[in-house]
Every structure is written in C-alpha cells, then in structure tokens.
Amino acid sequence: MKNYLYQVGGCLKNDAPTYVLREADAKLYDALITGQFCYVLNSRQMGKSSLRVQMMHRLQREGMTCASIDMTRVGSDNLTPAKWYREVIFELLRGFNLLGKFNFKAWWHEKKYLSNNQRLSQFIEEIILVHLNTDNIFIIVNNPPAALEEILTWTSGQPSETYLSSLVIPDIFLT
C-alpha cells in the first residue's frame, strides 16, 4: 500500500485497496449465483465498471466462467443487423478465449438461413456450451445499446431447457 497512487476516475483493478465493498456487491453476487438476470444502472463515474471487475474476479475465483463484452467495441454506426450480431458473437468468442478453436467463418455462413436471433441462440448452444463444458457461464455486457433488448428474447424461454440449465444467464448490463 506504500506505493499505491490514488486513482481518480476510471475502472479500479480487482486488487485496488480503495475499492469499497457495498451492500449492493453482496446482493448482486447472490442474485447472479442464483441465476437471476441483473441490470446495474447508475450515472457516469459511479463504480459500475469497477463493480464488473470485482464481480468477474470473484466469480472466476470461485470456478465460474465469465466473459465481458464492451459494446462500444462492437459499435452500431453503419452496421447491418447481421454484421452487428456477428460482432457480438465475435466478442463472445474473444471473451471466452475461443478464437481459433473452430471455423467461425464457415459456421456463420452455414447459419445464414437463420434469423440473427436464432444464430446467436445456436452459437451459445452449439459453440459456447460445448467448448466451455461447464455448468456456470456468465456473460457480462458493458455499455449496452438499446438495441440489445432484441437479443435478450432468447433468454425468456426460447432455448431448450437442457442448455438453460447449464448456462446461467445473469447478464450484467452496465451502462
């Protein structure tokens, strides 16, 4: 702690001595591990990204598999819906360290007859769940656009119960 420089603004690292645990941290964790869908809403510079870092670290420390997608990397300007979904799926590949583990280009082309939403659902069922082979997977979305609501329709019962029991879908939406 002697050499620690106080940080003003920005996301704190998971071991930052200035991170203050709040009651909300415990409530969020409890909700996540019971499979609840969670939103974290607050104004700018209020600790949402630091909370994301803390929560991911805790979940991973306890053996959970997590990926975080920053939607500002995906973008939305001048993207067709299909390209936007492709970028979201690519960010999931990157977040779960699955790049290069299967032929994404061929898979995407093979699924061209599906709607964008169906592609995302099948990607999660066929790729993420198969390659990760774990019971607890968390997808954390940072800076979600309003259009993300369309994606979430598959969390409301469309996927098979088989893979919903394996995939905990307590996405944290940090704005």
CA distance 161 to 175: 30
**What value does the mean pLDDT take over residues 96-119?**
91
Is the separation of the CB atoms in 93 and 99 below 8 Å?
A: yes
- Which sign does the torsion angle of CA 141, 95, 90, 169 carry? negative
> Which residues have a Cβ under 8 Å from the Cβ of 101 and sit 6 or more positions away?
131
In the sheet that holds 137-142, the strands lie side by side as 38-40, 172-174, 137-142, 65-70
Percent of the chain with pLDDT over 70: 73
User: Percent of the chain at pLDDT above 90?
Assistant: 11
pLDDT digit string, tens, across residues 12-31: 777 777 777 888 889 888 88
49 and 142 Cβ atoms separated by less than 8 Å: yes
CATH topology of domain 38-174: Rossmann fold (3.40.50)
**Could you report the per-residue pLDDT of 144-174, keeping only the tens digit for each?**
665 454 455 444 444 444 343 334 444 444 3
* Per-residue pLDDT tens digits for 112-141: 999 988 898 899 888 988 898 777 888 888
pTM: 0.72
The 3-state secondary structure of 71-135, one letter per residue: HHHHCCCCCCHHHHHHHHHHHHHHHCCCCCCCCHHHHHHHCCCCCHHHHHHHHHHHHHHHHHCCC
